Amino acid sequence: MTAIDMSSALEPLVGKRTAAALESLDITTVGALVRHYPRRYVDRGKLTDIAGLEIGEQATLVAQVEKSVLRDMRSRRGKLLNVVIRDEKGATIDCTFFNGHKVQHIIKPGVRAVFSGKVGVFNQKLQLTHPQFEPLDEADEIRPFLSVYPATGKITSQQVARCVRQVLDLLDDPTDPLPELVRGREKLAELGRALRRIHVPESEADIHAARHRLVWDEAMGVQLALALRRHATAQRPAAACPPVPGGLLDAFDARLPFALTAGQHTVGSEIAADLAREHPMNRLVQGDVGAGKTVVALRAMLQVVDGGRQAVLLAPTEVLAAQHARSLRALLGPLGRAGELDAAEQATSITLLTGSLGAKARRQALLDAQSGAAGIVVGTHALIQDHVGFADLGLVVVDEQHRFGVEQRDALRSRGELAPHVLVMTATPIPRTVAMTVYGDLEVSALRELPRGRSPISTSVVPLADKPTWFDRVWRRVREEVAAGHQAYVVCPRVGGTDAEVELVDTEDPDIGADSDDGESKRPPLAVLEVAPKLADGALEGLRIGVLHGKLPPDEKDAVMRAFERGGLDVLVATTVIEVGVDVPNSTAMVILDADRFGLSQLHQLRGRVGRGSAPGVCLLVTDMPAGTTARERLDAVAGTTDGFELARLDLELRREGDVLGALQSGRRSGLRLLSLLRHEEIIAKAQVYATHIVADDPGLRRHSGLAALVGETVGDEERAAYLDKV
């Protein structure tokens, strides 16, 4: 038979039908199959005897099906499969499977399988209710560990295991892509041994050693991709914009009514040095809510304008873009009114460009950008469109980076012979491992201190399940703030408006939505269009209430926001459209309804909209979730600290890491199966150092073809091609 390797097709090896079934798992090659690792193992030495089972314990046992009967359910539609299983010592236990017709053809008399589930009791007899199960074949019976694989309806774990063993018997050990230096220093098993032992281990030590080695593969693949991206970016020429003494930046600093924090000075110096170089800056500035990122970004833009070039500020929403334009004009004063009668001598101008501008205003904005009349252009995704031109683009500032993809960030950077500098900002603090992976192509700066004058924010959970009478107190608290001359936000998870509407929170956590993460069914989330009129006719009657959400026409959104900013509204009932960038110093209270429907970082962002002036802020997290649930733990964590960096790490613990890592891969199926941002921080840090040295020495990875292939396996061939082919 022809020798096979990792790139060999599966069909000649496992048959046409099985190969087609494996495609449902996106497995088409030998390499993809052997990289499809077990999700868990059954240790035959730790199996439980049926006779020793106790109510409430989680049991795993090997037994043979003795009897199997399918019957109708009494209380509702559907079928139950009642099964009796017997272990090797002759003891029996009942098992019950819901939707039994789906497993009847597998769980039939004579079949031996591994059963896992919680021991309960029914009719005074022990039973397993809907246990997990894995049928066994003869080969499984002699192995100390049974490998359980991710599977689909088209192919079972047992069939996957059989295919893996079949392929491993034919496959020679692949050439190891990791340099011998790395393997020796880190005491890593060779790739061939690791692949065999992760699928067919003889001991727990085999499993640990194999996983450790294969985690390194994934970490190196990611860090090499990022090192290649950094190297490719650094090779492009950029327009050097050194500071200009006596220029616009110096004039702005002279009129600032407050002193910059030490952090703003430090980060500002890092950015100024980057802008002065002839290679493009590629820097991420992260800072907690209210840390002063806008001033840092504006100072960078002014340095570029002093150099005779333009700066662009890209915002994720029209509300935020308009808010930024107003904030920049207010900060600059006469320095931002070039062409107007009261403009300062060295003034520039600020242009707002969004998709909803009228035809006349849009033409003027496009002309200002194209001609260079606008030194600073603020806008949304509309700025990325091909027909938007610039006279001499020197800097792109991307606000709230997590709302944009890498491709969107790069769209403006790729225009022209000279690459613009790029400054990325986020008010969502990023754990170190996320910064090294998702943002590993960027230099990272952090603003950790708040500017002087920011007021404290107190946060409390309002647990309606335990204390329903507190709901009235929430609205009395809002009235107290308004009576004191302040304003308040009321935040709802969805817009509402139609009976058929099923809108969930616009949250970064895919596990938070219409259903509780604690397994209980929940009512539909509260909606702005339902809550606002009830408040106006009830608890907040007599107050001036406005409504703001993403479905409003842009001119209405802007009008509502302006009314709130100038004090024309007492209470703003809104969705998460106010999550970032909205700055109304007179707002001191926020009520977040159905707070358990939001992600942890999102709650922190929302909370940051209050306490931005001289008066302290209060944030009330209203929830129906009872104490002891995961949702309440999340809310208690937000109430327990205002440190966004601490919350960011906790948020990572609560979220799916695959969704975070998936941002590297532009929507393709993840090639990262073992790498954990929480558990493998040290490995990621070491891999980053190795990858940087390797790419510096061999920018095209021409002497490391195995590593080039590893990049393709982990983050995609498109990523590999994008940066290898340019070197």
For residue range 519-539, what is the model confidence (pLDDT) as tens digits? 344 578 999 999 999 999 999
Given a cut of 60, is residue 660 above it in pLDDT? no
Q: What pLDDT score was predicted for residue 195?
A: 97
**CA–CA distance from 314 to each of 175, 411, 468, 622 (Å)?**
45, 11, 43, 33
Distance CA 100, CA 83 (A): 10
pLDDT averaged over the chain?
85
Q: What pLDDT score was predicted for residue 668?
A: 45
Distance CA 298, CA 329 (A): 11
Between residues 447 and 513, the one the model is more confident about: 447
Between residues 82 and 722, the one the model is more confident about: 82
Domains of the chain by range and CATH? 40-148 (2.40.50.140), 248-275+292-318+352-426 (3.40.50.300), 457-641 (3.40.50.300)
Given a cut of 80, is residue 490 above it in pLDDT? yes
For residue range 556-594, what is the model confidence (pLDDT) as tens digits? 888 998 899 999 999 999 998 887 667 788 999 999 999
Rounded mean pLDDT, 110-128: 91
Q: What pLDDT score was predicted for residue 166?
A: 93
Between residues 184 and 341, the one the model is more confident about: 184
Q: How many CB atoms lie within 10 A of CB 346?
A: 18
Contact 398, 405 (CB under 8 A): no
Q: What pLDDT score was predicted for residue 664?
A: 52
Q: Encoding tokens for residue 392?
A: 């001499």
For residue 667, name the pLDDT band (cuts at 50, 70, 90).
very low
For residue 722, name the pLDDT band (cuts at 50, 70, 90).
low
Q: Encoding tokens for residue 526?
A: 């509260």
Distance CA 132, CA 149 (A): 13
Amino acid at site 247? G
Distance CA 387, CA 410 (A): 16
Rounded mean pLDDT, 438-458: 77
For residue 142, name the pLDDT band (cuts at 50, 70, 90).
confident
Distance CA 111, CA 335 (A): 81
Distance CA 575, CA 131 (A): 41
Rounded mean pLDDT, 148-173: 90
**CA–CA distance from 579 to each of 289, 584, 597 (Å)?**
11, 13, 14
Q: Which region holds residue 204: left if phi is over 0, alpha if psi is between -120 and 50, else beta?
A: alpha
Q: Which region holds residue 411: left if phi is over 0, alpha if psi is between -120 and 50, else beta?
A: alpha
pTM here is 0.72
